[in-house]
Structure 1
Amino acid sequence: MKLKIPNIRLQTTIILLVCSVVILALLVTYLLIGEEVSERTQVHLEEKATNISRMVANSPVVINSMEGELPEEEIQTFAEDIREVTNVDYVVVFDMNSVRKSHPDEEKIGKTFVGGDEGEVLKGNEHVSIAKGTLGMSLRSFTPIYNSEGTNQIGAVAVGISLSSIEQAVSKSRYIIYIGILFGAVIGVIGAIFLGRRVRKILFGLEPSQIAKVLEERNKMLQSTVEGILTIDEDGKVTLANDTAKKIFREAGLKDELIGKQIDSFMPDSNLIKVIRTGVPLLDQETNLNGITLLANIVPIKVDNRVVGAISTFRDLTEIKRLAEELTGVKMYAEALRAQAHEFKNKLHVILGMVHMKSYDQLPEYINQITNHYQEEIGFIAKRIKDPILAGFVLAKMSYAREQNKNVLLSEDTLVPVPRNQEITHEIITIVGNLIDNALEAVKNAKDKKVLVSFVFDEEEECLTLEVKDKGIGMNEEKLNQVFEKGYSTKDSERGYGLHLVNESIQKLDGDVSVTSQPGKGTIFEVRIPYKSKDESDD
């Protein structure tokens, strides 16, 4: 049977750990110091007893009384005074025959000294011993007494401190250690609780298992996103890069480890350092990385209202354009079908009305007229524009314009052969589509709601000239200077990207563009791009 280990909270673990360390440290301190304190206390008492015995042995009162110059009763009085003052258990003076001259119990004066450890002092040797006397076990310090001339020993002094008194003194010394240990333990517990709460606050109240789960989820999220993610600290060093970011950097030729490197060493125009300094986010920023154009969003990382780094999410702009083109194509075909369905529905209503009015003679003529017009339009476009994708796009724009009571007319000199590189078609559609949309918007309130579109291919120069002309509101010189800027629009704030995309596509194809416009008289966009036609031998 497996034992289930309880899941102890981090704060509890820290408190238990710190308390255990403090208590263990105090216990070791007690073991190391306690015995030393006991020994020092005992040595101090031995020195005290020795000093008292020396003082009594060298006292003139004791010496003179032992020599008979003073009554022997003076010895008892003096010894008792010394005992009371010094707080020892007894001070006993005895002669060379071990006969007591003083004792706390006066009845024992004149009797022989008990203990058997006085032999050394009677030989003139000062010493300390532990022996049992009439007052029980005690520590006894012996000092010889010499006559006034100091030539002959005439007795000895024994100063005793009972072992119980010594144990009380040692216990008192240890009691101070106990107080210190208790105080240290209390401080340790308080500190442990404070540390545990502080750590818990720093970790936002999360337990280690929860932190591990959040970290794992964050890593999975970062690695699964299709956008590159890069973070730097306030010193400009890379602290995080997900797999997508590393892949993009490898494609740009940067194969070294990114973590820990200065951002300026491989992305000098990333704007990450700028965001850290200003604290202002930068959105939809184009950044060049060894020839790869990235579209990045950069946001500062703030902790306690202080910028501590920046995070950038980015994608390859080429991939974004490809997705946009796909979405634009889908939208274009949907709009074309909707416009044609609407136009067809209107014609069905006319036919239904003619049936109700029984205009059977005019009905075949009307249907033939519709059919011929439609075939002529398709035939004209198919004859002039050989690329079926571009032809379908222009046809869709014509239907869309008719639905809005406007006209998109294709010039008679239009000629577009099939391109050698099919990818150029997507860029031409971006250019033509945005220019036609702008022209249709410009003629919305004009009397002449026509937009003239022409494609002229120069086979010798291998150049395609595209012109979109309208007689709409036109633009002044100030607007002409800003017309290709990203986000600039003469309409509303949610627009202003169409002509920017047109300019980017022209630059990508190494082409050029010119704009002629007058307020109230209309605008002409002329675009020239390199264009190689597909030879029949290429099939």
Structure 2
Amino acid sequence: MVAVTSRRRTLAGQLLILQLAIIVVVLVAVAAVSLAQSAATFNRVEGRRVAALGERLGGSPLLRDQLDQPAPGEAIAPLVQSIPDQYGVTSVTVANARGRVVASTNPTLVGSPVRLGDPDVAQGRSWFGELEIDGSQQLVAQVPVLGDDPKTKKNLGRYLGVVVVGEASPTWSQRLVGASSYLLTYLGIACGLGVVGSWLLARRIKRQTLGLEPREIAGLAEHREALLHGIAEGVIALDPQHRVTLVNAVGRRLLDLPEHCLGRSLAELRINGRLRDVLAGAGSGPEARDQVVVRGGRVLVMNRMTVRKDGRRLGSVTTLRDRTELARLEQEIGGFRSTTELLRAQTHEFANQLHTISGLIQIGEHDEVVRYVDALSRHRASLDLTVTSRIHDTAVAALLMAKSAVAAERRVELRVSERTGLDRLPPELAADVATVLGNLLDNAVEAVAGHTSDRPAWVEAELRQDAASVEIVVRDSGPGVAPELAQEVFTHGFTTKAAEGGERGIGLALTRLVCHRRGGEVAVTNTDEGAMFTARMSVPATVGQEAR
């Protein structure tokens, strides 16, 4: 058994058939209108002619005289028979006052009753319309014949009979042919243009749909929706005018976009600043890789690609990844890394000190060994006392001790300002303070260590606390921050090194997020000696009361 499967028509074929059907309907409608116009013209023109002829015959003295005679048909018949040939009408009938036909172009009707279109004709009123006469539909004018009073010889309107003049109505085919000698030509031209236009339209649509059929387009749309809403990353597409043409649920959530954002521009959605620059490609060229942007309390990593076809720019597609949680994990890992660096730095420092002590012992300088060990102990005790006496929160104090050892290894002196004063903080607030302080110190040490200068390399930390806030100030002897990057270092997620042209990070971006979450802010200014970062965070009322 052979199964025969019917081949589905293509989209272009379906459109062509649909267009041809529309053309046929239009042609039928045009023909119907033409026929209606032809019928109206026939009724108007021929109706006037038969009505005028009926009025003329109704006023004929011969008819008025003969209809009063006992046998008027013999005198009237020759006149009636000559009228069709003379005036080109179909039928002429004359009836007397009793309604009997006395003369007609059809002799078989003589003696039969005449059919009146309106009873008022017998009362002396004319009538015009269509009637079936002798088996055919005719346009008829019925005109009464009125006589004079035999005594006064004046026209008193005495009803003598009726004259019926008829013109056969043309058939539909005759009307179609007679409607216009060029109607068929016009219809043929219109049909030809319609076919060619339909073919061109079908071809254009097929080219625009890349030769895909409706079921294939529907399948692609379903797959696209499943793909967009199934991936964990945000996706947003813009047209050349920076209007949103596509965005998935993740992208809408990450960018805080309204539900009905399709078709709206970035300006209408109030997307400005760094985020707009990345989405619109301002200053980043056709492609942007791993751009860090802060939006709505989130650290977003964005990758943008321009879409082109046949050399024409169609818009752009940008993917977004939320790295906020990842950044926090990096900070935790950074804490372990800092501890490792501290241990390594201390091991290195202890190794150098042990080598010095060993050398002094080998050369017999035993008293110098004692003095050297005493000096190391006093320096260590002095540093511990300085930090712990001014910073009573153990987590922050431990962080400063660790950063001091790492900075010393890089030949950078870490100072604690004499104006520093910090009480014990709740664990959550202490962690945020440590995060902000650690990021600022890392950026400062990086900037100072990578800067070549004859001046001593130092970084100074100052922590102040009052009843409402905690303020962290980090100064350094580095090159400072360019004025045009004073805000961008936080928006872009630059580190101090990145501000000089290095790689980008998210340390300062995370610092700003922590400050915003705590109801504060972070800023950077340049001093005569270098850069100064100032971060401020609000303190809960209970903490302020405990501090007082």
TM-score normalised by the chain length of structure 2: 0.47
